Amino acid sequence: MPGKYLNNVADFLKANNETVIGHLAIGVTNHQLLMQQRTSWNHQVTFLKEAFQYLPRDWNLILEYPIPRRSKRIDAILLANDLIFVIEFKDRETKYTPDAISQVEDYSLDLRDFHKQSASMSIIPVVWASEAKEKSNHFFDNGDFVKPTLFSNGQNLHLTLKSAYEFYTNRTNIKINPSIWNNSEYLPTPTIIEAAQHLFSGQNVREISRSHAGSENLTDTTNAILNAIKEAQERDEKIICFITGVPGAGKTLAGLNIVHNIENHSGKGVFLSGNGPLVKVLTEALARDNSKRTQIPLAQSRREIAFVQNVHQFLDFYHNNDQTPQDKIILFDEAQRAWNAEHSKRKFDRDFSEAEMLFNIMNRNEGWAVIVALIGSGQEINTGEAGLTEWGKTINDKFSNWRIYTSPELKEGTSNIANYKLFETVPPNLSITELPELHLKVSIRSYKAEKLSEWVVTLLEDEPIKAKELLQNHLKDYPIFLTRNLETARKFLRDKNRGYRRTGLVASSGSRRLKPLGLDVTAKIDVANWFLNPKEDVRSSCF
């Protein structure tokens, strides 16, 4: 998706302000917002023209360049031969605020990591506060493609840009083609939190998937489930759908995408997970994002985000009464980790496995009902987790009236899904529909991220030869360090942390010996604040 305006400096200087603003206003439908934005754009274009009259005429300017992962647009990109200037404009601002610095650095990091034509290019973030006092800039090579952030006000932008260009340019480098750069592939790897925020702010899965194949795979799976739901409604029957996938294929994202599509079609769906911290962080992140976008109070926004719930609490509520659930469609993430009857008895004094309880609850619906089970692979089954065969046994023994939709992989138990099987031998009395679309076969996770996880495992399992091989062959560009000094590690993380990227310390739940170092693993933390709050907040992981 290209920026809204692209031109060389020479033609930009000749263009009428209203002509430029007309390009920027395309797609803005909120009249009040447009009026406010037009004023800001006019100031920005005027300031840029004043500064750019001193710059080379063959440099190229792009305005309102989109960063889909953040649902934001970069105010201005200046392509100066082999350099990329990322400029964040703060109209009437008298200070270079920490948030403005984080914002422009985060844009720059996104270009470095996800923008194909920016790979291995020098990217220079610039905070431009129109009314701020002049601030000295320090030019040095920090060993990163994203250079140290520069500061400029309404009077000295041209001096800042020219000085940076003279210091950072390499005249032997190939000149950036502005049209190719503006239309470059953008291949993000968003966190599950960012992906959820994108979906529920109105974007589609294609805009946040790392690859075209990955987005197509997710879209096909979503459509297959929506068609199955429609069929269940038309036939007035109960169905269960099993979604499988290779590690990193985005099963959780697929589940959220399905819930999002159900909500858009005035349906009722709920996303259930046994991962308590994920539920807390996800619901709080969606509530905060919704509050910010719609300008409603956060407390009200939290009440609106009711489609992500803790599966144990969901089951506990309905187990203790005979109510019919208000949601006729539920999606259960990591369904293979549902508790067996013995663990349910120990934990909550229940006499049923969680799979059986879920069927019992959804069976209360008159007419149609749908369960979508997301099956993870490559993960250890912990004590008390029933595994996939519990689902097959429950269906065969007590709920054979439910139709089954599954991928061929799950029916056959292939290595793609850790040899999981619903049934050792498929019962002849069950109605089973096989749909290839229910298997996510394309990983949307970064290849190197997978190798990094593999390297950590080999390190912890004391396999130095394998760890060294992974490091040398796959992770040369990763900044991996080993230290026994906790303060050294903390200082390194704080010094290197830029933009809105997060840092934090992870320890084993049994690491009681870390308490003298100020790390009490037995102390409870507010996981939502830990994961989401800004780096300056003492409750944040970054602090």
CATH number of the domain bearing residue 384: 3.40.50.300
178 & 199 share domain? no
Q: Left, alpha or beta for 324 (phi > 0: left; psi -120 to 50: alpha)? A: beta
Reading the chain (543 residues) residue by residue, the pLDDT tens digits are 799 999 999 999 999 999 999 999 887 766 566 677 888 899 999 999 999 999 999 999 999 999 876 678 999 999 999 999 999 999 889 999 999 999 999 999 999 988 999 999 999 999 999 999 999 999 999 989 999 999 999 899 999 999 999 999 999 999 999 999 999 988 777 778 888 888 877 766 666 555 554 567 788 999 999 999 999 999 999 999 999 887 777 888 888 888 888 765 555 789 999 899 999 999 999 999 889 888 899 999 888 888 899 998 898 889 888 899 988 999 999 888 888 878 777 777 777 888 999 999 999 999 999 999 998 765 545 655 667 888 998 999 999 999 999 988 776 655 444 456 788 788 889 999 999 999 988 777 666 677 888 898 898 899 999 999 999 998 887 888 888 898 899 899 988 899 988 999 888 888 888 888 888 888 888 999 999 998 889 999 988
Q: Give the range of the structural domain holding residue 24, as residue numbers without chain letter.
A: 5-182
The verdict on residue 540 lying in a domain is no
204 & 331 share domain? yes
425 & 506 share domain? no
The verdict on residue 225 lying in a domain is yes
Using CA atoms, how far apart are residues 156 and 60, in angstroms rounded to an integer?
A: 19
**What is the count of structural domains for the chain?**
3
The verdict on residue 110 lying in a domain is yes
State the DSSP string of 413-428: T-GGGTT--S-SS--T
Give, in order, the Cα–Cα distances in Å from 299 to each of 288, 304, 509.
9, 9, 32
Q: Which of 402, 420, 440 is the last residue of a domain?
A: 440
Q: Which of 382, 408, 440 is the last residue of a domain?
A: 440
99 & 209 share domain? no
The verdict on residue 462 lying in a domain is yes
Using CA atoms, how far apart are residues 141 and 12, in angstroms rounded to an integer?
A: 31
451 & 414 share domain? no
SS3 241: strand
Using CA atoms, how far apart are residues 113 and 210, in angstroms rounded to an integer?
A: 11
314 & 176 share domain? no
171 & 252 share domain? no
157 & 201 share domain? no
SS3 336: helix
- Do 107 and 125 touch, CB atoms closer than 8 A? yes
- Do 244 and 378 touch, CB atoms closer than 8 A? no
- Global pTM value: 0.80
- Do 458 and 470 touch, CB atoms closer than 8 A? yes
* Token representation of residue 471: 């490091």
- Do 448 and 474 touch, CB atoms closer than 8 A? yes
Identify the helix (H) or strand (E) that includes residue 262: helix 251-264
